[in-house]
């Protein structure tokens, strides 16, 4: 069996059915091996798109997402999205072709130190050096990616190993994943006691526990513990519009459990996010995160414990607490804060407002029982996250990187063919990977993209206006003649342009009924992202 066949069969044994890739010399042996292994290769237009798609696959399915890139500029093009996957806690396996081992140091074609590039952005990065290690390396990498805290991994695969005969007729025994760390009984008792004595407790969870497949468990645990659970996966943190005015509740809580939610910039480094007398418990799978919490929380830290967050929450829910305090009023207060969407009256404008566009999209989402919502970043992305919701939601994540939305939408549709996939993004964001509409057409991945077009990089426009003034604007404007709808149609999709509010709903219905990857280019007024204050008024930053 050739080395490439070992890799493909090891992937198949792990349940991998789909790989996102852009072809290149050094990975052709794996392409050939995937035919026999019956693994689908989704062939994209840019290497970064393949990694974004693997990220979305992982988030939607809960499985490992796999990207396959060639050497040199191929793998280097795909490195940046690993940062997004790392901070979104997405289990992604990046496989890259590499120059031959027997040409090391000789100036081989596209020879480079791939591992040094990817190591800071991954949980594991290694170059396989013997053919017998190929399948075990795949097993080990996938186990590492899926282990708490989940994240991306990278294997560099030298070309001469892929094309050599291994002498093996069967794969070696599969490496079993390590058992997850349970919550120690002493820590369980301490945290249960903290929650039991609290009048206004909260549990904050990190990105891994924000996934759709975790929602049922979170709801059940919240009900059992009578503690509101707040998901935090946005770089806007306490100012995340999808959380309404919940920051005020976090500042009022007397006990806060950070369950896989790291202390970082999104919580203001714990300087003022929590009440002065609040007691904080931290449960995290990584010792490094616990050490940071200890340093930043100081005397507020009551309990710290290294454990798998899903198992820890299940253990807390199973704890017999005897008398349950009545915290219905607190739960109602938190729910109302999360639902807060009060808006200041906008300045009159002839263009469609961001909230009006999002509300029109939501009517179409509500008409379907099976929708995946993708919201990319930027100012319009925050409106989308505030006013649109669906059973499964993908956002640009803690990294704050924009531009992956089209890739996310394609992978989501491939992972869930029966779902209606809706993407909202700004015109700046659309430019990063617009040619992936071609990929969507070739792969039969019909989704509907709504571009909120305000003719500028609005986040930067807002910053420059606030900091430097209108006479110092630079590098924010985008083309008034760009027709993203026509570009999508030229690539084989469906396109339409909307500049009046009464056109919105008919245009959305037509796009969703087209059966093709669709793009609506909607002219909007370009408001700054909303910040909900909890006083039925939205301040803008």
Is the pLDDT confidence value at 186 over 80? yes
- Same domain (yes/no): 377, 228: no
Residue 325: what pLDDT?
A: 80
Cβ atoms within 10 Å of 99's Cβ, excluding its own: 23
Sequence-distant (6+) residues with CB within 8 A of 150 are 58, 89, 90, 91, 208
* Structural domain includes residue 344: no
Which residue is it, tokens 């507020």?
300
For residue 241, give Cα distances in angstroms to 131, 222, 245, 525, 539. 50, 22, 8, 18, 11
Q: Which of 532, 524, 537, 522 is nearest to 353 (CA)?
A: 524
Q: Which helix (H) or strand (E) holds 204?
A: strand 201-205
Is the pLDDT confidence value at 538 over 90? no
| Domain end (from 305, 339, 373) | 339
CATH number of the domain to which 81 belongs: 3.40.50.970
- Same domain (yes/no): 488, 382: yes
Cβ atoms within 10 Å of 319's Cβ, excluding its own: 17
How far apart, in whole angstroms, are the C-alpha atoms of residue 205 and residue 248? 17
Kindly state the average pLDDT of the residues 44-72. 98
When computed from its CA atoms, the radius of gyration of the chain, rounded to whole angstroms, is 24
Residue 536: what pLDDT?
A: 44
| Domain end (from 104, 130, 163) | 163
pLDDT tens digits for 400-455? 999 999 999 999 999 999 999 999 999 999 999 999 999 999 999 999 999 999 99
Residue 110: what pLDDT?
A: 94
CATH number of the domain to which 235 belongs: 3.40.50.1220
Residue 241: what pLDDT?
A: 94
* Structural domain includes residue 269: yes
Is the pLDDT confidence value at 540 over 50? no
- Residue 238 CA, distance from chain mean position: 18
The count of residues in the chain is 541
Kindly state the average pLDDT of the residues 464-475. 94
* Structural domain includes residue 175: no
How far apart, in whole angstroms, are the C-alpha atoms of residue 94 and residue 74? 12
* Structural domain includes residue 295: yes
Q: Which of 261, 268, 263 is nearest to 247 (CA)?
A: 268
Ordered DSSP codes for 330-369: HHHHHHHHHH----PPPPP-SSBPHHHHHHHHHHHHHT-S
Residue 36: what pLDDT?
A: 97
- Same domain (yes/no): 371, 472: yes
For the chain, the distance separating the N- and C-terminal CA atoms, rounded to the nearest angstrom, is 60
Banded pLDDT at 163 (limits 50, 70, 90):
very high
- pLDDT above 70 covers a percentage of the chain that reads 96
* Structural domain includes residue 176: no
- Same domain (yes/no): 459, 331: no
pLDDT tens digits for 126-158? 999 999 999 999 999 999 999 999 999 999 999
Mean per-residue pLDDT of the chain: 94
- Same domain (yes/no): 153, 216: no
pLDDT tens digits for 475-498? 999 999 999 999 999 999 999 999
State pTM to two decimals: 0.95
Is the pLDDT confidence value at 181 over 90? no
- Same domain (yes/no): 335, 358: no
| Domain end (from 339, 373, 403) | 339
How far apart, in whole angstroms, are the C-alpha atoms of residue 36 and residue 29? 12
- Same domain (yes/no): 113, 214: no
Banded pLDDT at 310 (limits 50, 70, 90):
very high
Banded pLDDT at 342 (limits 50, 70, 90):
confident
Kindly state the average pLDDT of the residues 514-530. 95
- Same domain (yes/no): 474, 379: yes
* Structural domain includes residue 179: no
* Structural domain includes residue 178: no
Sequence-distant (6+) residues with CB within 8 A of 319 are 188, 192
* Structural domain includes residue 419: yes
- Same domain (yes/no): 219, 102: no
Is the pLDDT confidence value at 347 over 80? no
Sequence-distant (6+) residues with CB within 8 A of 31 are 21, 23, 41
Banded pLDDT at 344 (limits 50, 70, 90):
low
Q: Half-sphere exposure (CA, 13 Å, Cβ side) for 344?
A: 13
Can you give the residue range of the structural domain that contains 201?
185-339
Q: Which of 397, 346, 385 is nearest to 526 (CA)?
A: 346
Is the pLDDT confidence value at 537 over 60? no
- Same domain (yes/no): 256, 372: no
Count of domains forming the chain? 3
Banded pLDDT at 343 (limits 50, 70, 90):
confident
- Same domain (yes/no): 52, 192: no
How far apart, in whole angstroms, are the C-alpha atoms of residue 46 and residue 75? 11
Structure-block tokens of residue 439: 């990929």
- Same domain (yes/no): 365, 312: no
């Amino acid at each position: 069996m050739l080395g490439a066949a070992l890799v493909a069969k090891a992937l198949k044994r792990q349940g991998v059915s789909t790989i996102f890739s852009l072809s290149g010399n050094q990975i052709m042996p794996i392409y050939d091996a995937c035919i026999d292994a019956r693994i689908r290769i989704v062939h994209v237009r840019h290497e970064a798109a393949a990694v974004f798609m693997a990220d979305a696959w992982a988030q939607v399915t809960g499985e490992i997402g796999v990207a396959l890139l060639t050497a040199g500029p191929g793998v280097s093009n795909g490195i940046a999205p690993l940062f997004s996957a790392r901070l979104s806690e997405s289990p992604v396996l990046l496989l890259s072709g590499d120059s031959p081992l027997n040409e090391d140091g000789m100036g081989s074609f596209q020879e480079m130190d791939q591992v040094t590039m990817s190591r800071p952005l991954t949980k594991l990065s290694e170059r396989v050096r013997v053919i017998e290690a190929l399948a075990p390396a795949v097993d080990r990498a996938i186990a590492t990616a899926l282990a708490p805290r989940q994240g991306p991994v990278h294997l560099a695969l030298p070309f001469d190993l892929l094309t050599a005969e291994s002498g093996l007729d069967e794969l070696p025994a599969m490496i079993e994943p390590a058992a997850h760390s349970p919550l120690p009984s002493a820590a369980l008792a301490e945290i249960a006691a903290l929650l039991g004595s609290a009048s206004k407790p909260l549990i904050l969870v990190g990105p891994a526990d924000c996934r759709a497949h975790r929602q049922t468990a979170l709801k059940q645990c919240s009900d059992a513990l009578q503690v509101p659970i707040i998901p935090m996966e946005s770089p806007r943190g306490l100012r995340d519009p999808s959380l309404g005015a919940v920051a005020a509740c976090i500042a009022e809580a007397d006990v806060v459990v950070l369950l896989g939610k790291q202390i970082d910039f999104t919580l203001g480094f714990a300087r003022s996010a929590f009440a002065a007398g609040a007691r904080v418990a931290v449960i995290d799978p990584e010792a490094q995160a616990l050490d940071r919490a200890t340093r930043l929380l100081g005397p507020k830290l009551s309990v710290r414990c290294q454990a798998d967050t899903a198992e820890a929450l299940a253990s807390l829910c199973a704890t017999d607490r005897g008398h349950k305090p009545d915290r219905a009023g607190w739960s109602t207060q938190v729910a109302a804060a999360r639902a807060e969407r009060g808006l200041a009256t906008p300045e009159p404008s002839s263009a469609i407002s961001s909230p009006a566009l999002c509300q029109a999209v939501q009517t179409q989402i509500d008409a379907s029982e099976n929708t995946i919502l993708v919201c990319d970043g930027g100012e319009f992305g925050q409106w989308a996250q505030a006013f649109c919701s669906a059973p499964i939601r993908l956002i640009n994540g803690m990294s704050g990187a924009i531009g992956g939305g089209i890739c996310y939408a394609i992978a989501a549709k491939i992972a869930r063919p029966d779902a209606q996939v809706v993407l909202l993004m700004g015109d700046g964001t659309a430019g990063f990977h617009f040619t992936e509409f071609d990929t969507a057409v070739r792969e039969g991945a019909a989704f509907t993209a709504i571009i909120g077009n305000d003719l500028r990089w609005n986040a930067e426009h807002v910053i420059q206006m606030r900091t430097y003034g209108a006479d110092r604007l630079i590098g924010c404007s985008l083309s008034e003649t760009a027709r993203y709808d026509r570009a999508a149609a030229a690539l084989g999709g469906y396109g339409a342009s909307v500049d009046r509010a009464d056109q919105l709903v008919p245009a959305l219905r037509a796009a969703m009924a087209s059966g093709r990857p669709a793009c609506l280019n909607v002219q909007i007024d370009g408001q700054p992202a909303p910040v909900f204050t909890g006083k039925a008024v939205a301040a803008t930053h």
